[in-house]
Structure 1
């Protein structure tokens, strides 16, 4: 199952305050990190979710690799599913990945 692991939320300097960085496993077309955000609806324009490459693959422009609008409201999960069937997962904490210090 393809997964999109949350790396960081509330990114600054992006078009929306809900911009989130995800790590993709497996990568899609060489892109292993993306930023997703939702823009609110405006007069005559629906709300939309936007996905752009990040990390080393980040382009100089923010041309989306996925962009969609939905009457019920677009969201990160829908955008990542359209990108490649990705499910969102939380990053494992150090406590979850260690053996608890037992030796």
Structure 2
């Protein structure tokens, strides 16, 4: 399923077909007062601040990116003009986790 911007909606579980030995994954959950936030936008920005990708959080508030190794910024945009930036380091073979409270 896609949202208005054609960004894919995310699910909580990493697909079984993903071979983490070859992937660097950035995954997180967006919450407001402990409740998952669906339909928020998560944007992946490279180390120079350039936009790279965007996904929409699913019903469980989850977002996920497959990224190159290195430092990234995840910018979460939600209803009410909320914008929160988090820095994360992606590394092949790992899932870099973020919990974003808005």
Q: Same fold (TM over 0.5)?
A: no
TM-score by length of 2: 0.33
TM-score by length of 1: 0.33
Which has the larger Rg? Answer: 1
| Structure with greater helix percent | 1
